[in-house]
Amino acid sequence: MASPEPVQVVKTRRDAALRALVEGVPYIQFLGITFDRRGDELTSVLAYREDLIGNPAIPAIHGGVTAAFLEVTAIVGLTWASQWDAIEGGQMPIDENARPRMPKTIDFTVDYLRSGLPRDAYARARVTRSGRRYASVHVEGWQDNRERLFAQATGHFLMPPSDG
Amino acid sequence: MDTESHLHIARRFIEAIPHSKALGMEVEEIANGKAVISMPFDPRLIGDPETGVIHGGAVSALMDTCCGAAVMSHPDGAIATATIDLRIDYMRPATPGQRIRARAECYHVTRSVAFVRATALDEDDSRPVAAATGAFTFQRQGGA
C-alpha cells in the first residue's frame, strides 16, 4: 500500500491552488480580502479599513462593500469546491500559470441584518446546489460573534463550460 | 432652496462617503427620489483577469450608493437610510474601459420603508449591464 502523502506536500499544493484563485484578481486585493483555509473549509476575512465606510455618522461599513465581500466569498468558495477533486487528484495543477475559469454571477441577493461595524468581518460560503451548468450558493457574514450574522446572501451562478 | 444648491449639497455629501470616494463615484443627477451616479473604469476593480471585466461587487457598491441617494432625495424627506435587502441581476459583463452609470428610482415609500429599483449601464445605453431592486429603511424626523 502506498504511504500517505507528507503533510507539507498536501499543504503546499492546496495553498498554491488557493493563491492562484485569489491573488490574480485585482478587486479581491483592492478590498483587502484574504482567505483562511482549514482542510477544504475556507473563511474569507475582510480586514477593516477606513475607506470601506459607507456611513461616517455611525460609522458603518458600506452596504456595497458588504455585498462585494459576500459575492467574492461565494465565487471563490464555489470555484474552490468545484476544483477540489482536481486539486487533490493532482492531475490538473492549479497555480498562477493555470487558473481555472470563474463562474459568472447570474443574480445575487443580500440581506442586511445589522450594520457592519468598523472592525474585521468574516464570511463562509456553502454551495447548496452545484450542477453542470448552474449553481446556487449561500453565504453568511459575521463580525465578533459567529452566531450574530451582520449579513447573508444567496446567489446563482453560471458555471464555466468544462473542457472535458 | 433651489435645485442647483440642493444638488451641490447632495453631491458633496455622497462624494465624501469614504468608499464612494475610493471608487471615484460622481453624482450626476439627484432630485425627487431619483439619482444618477457614475464611476470610471479602474483596473483595480477587475474581477476576471482573463477578460478584464469589472467585478460584480463593484457594480453592487455603485448600485447600493445610487439607491440610497434616491431614497435620501425623496420629497417625503428621510433623515437617514440603510439597506434592508438588495438583489442584483447581472445581465451582461460591463465592457472593459467604459464608465458605469447607475440610475435609481425610489418608486414607493411607506412610513418606514422605501422601495427602490435601479439599472446600471456602460456606454451602450441600449443594453443594461445590471438591474437591482431593494428595500431601504426610511427614517423620518422624530420617528422611532
Give the percent of chain B with pLDDT over 70: 95
Name the pLDDT band for B45 (thresholds 50, 70, 90): very high
- Chain A environment of B56 (Cβ under 8 Å): 68, 71, 105, 108
Q: What is the pLDDT of residue A97?
A: 67
More confident residue, B141 or B4: B141
> How many CB atoms are located within 10 Å of the residue A148 CB?
10
Q: Which domains does chain A have, with CATH numbers?
A: 7-158 (3.10.129.10)
B57 with A52: Cβ contact below 8 A:
no
Residue type, A150: F
Give the percent of chain A with pLDDT over 70: 93
Q: What is the pLDDT of residue A86?
A: 86
In the predicted model, what is the mean pLDDT of residues A101-124?
Answer: 96
CB-nearest partner of B19 from A24, A64, A108: A64
- Residue A112 predicted with pLDDT over 80: yes
- Residue A118 predicted with pLDDT over 50: yes
- Grid coordinates of B76: 417625503
Phi, psi at residue A6, to the nearest 5°? -60, 140
A63 with B88: Cβ contact below 8 A:
no
Residue type, A65: V
A63 with B82: Cβ contact below 8 A:
yes
d(CA A76, CA A4): 28
- Residue B88 predicted with pLDDT over 90: yes
Q: How far are the Cα atoms of A19, A21, A29 from residue A60, in angstroms, in the given order?
A: 30, 29, 21
d(CA B113, CA B135): 7
- Residue B4 predicted with pLDDT over 50: yes
Give the percent of chain B with pLDDT over 90: 81
Q: How far are the Cα atoms of A12, A18, A92, B71 from residue A87, in angstroms, in the given order?
A: 11, 10, 7, 47
- The residues, any chain, with a CB within 8 Å of residue B39's CB and separated by 6 or more, are B23, B24, B25, B26, B58, B62, B99, B100
A67 with B88: Cβ contact below 8 A:
yes
- Grid coordinates of B135: 428595500
Least confident of A7-21, A28-42, B93-107: A7-21
Give the percent of chain A with pLDDT over 90: 73
In the predicted model, what is the mean pLDDT of residues A31-41?
Answer: 96
Residue B114, CA atoms < 13 Å, CB-side half-sphere: 30
CB-nearest partner of A108 from B56, B61, B84: B56
- Residue B1 predicted with pLDDT over 60: no
- In the sheet with A134-142, reading across from the earlier edge strand, the strands are A33-38, A41-46, A121-130, A134-142, A149-158, A104-112, B83-90, B130-137, B113-121, B100-109, B34-39, B26-31
Least confident of A99-103, A120-124, A126-130, B96-100: A99-103
More confident residue, A155 or B48: A155
Q: Which domains does chain B have, with CATH numbers?
A: 3-137 (3.10.129.10)
Nearest CA of chain A to the CA of B4: how many Å?
A: 24
- The residues, any chain, with a CB within 8 Å of residue B10's CB and separated by 6 or more, are B27, B30, B69, B72, B73
Preceding peptide of A161 cis, ω within 30°: no
CB contact A134 to B (< 8 Å): no
Best CA proximity match to A47, nearest among A113, A143, A155, A149: A143
Mind listing the pLDDT tens digit for each residue in A135-145? Answer: 999 999 999 99
Q: What is the pLDDT of residue B2?
A: 59
CB contact A147 to B (< 8 Å): no
Mind listing the pLDDT tens digit for each residue in A60-107? Answer: 999 999 999 999 999 999 999 999 988 888 666 666 667 788 899 999
- Residue A164 predicted with pLDDT over 50: no
Longest distance between any two alpha carbons in chain A, whole Å: 64
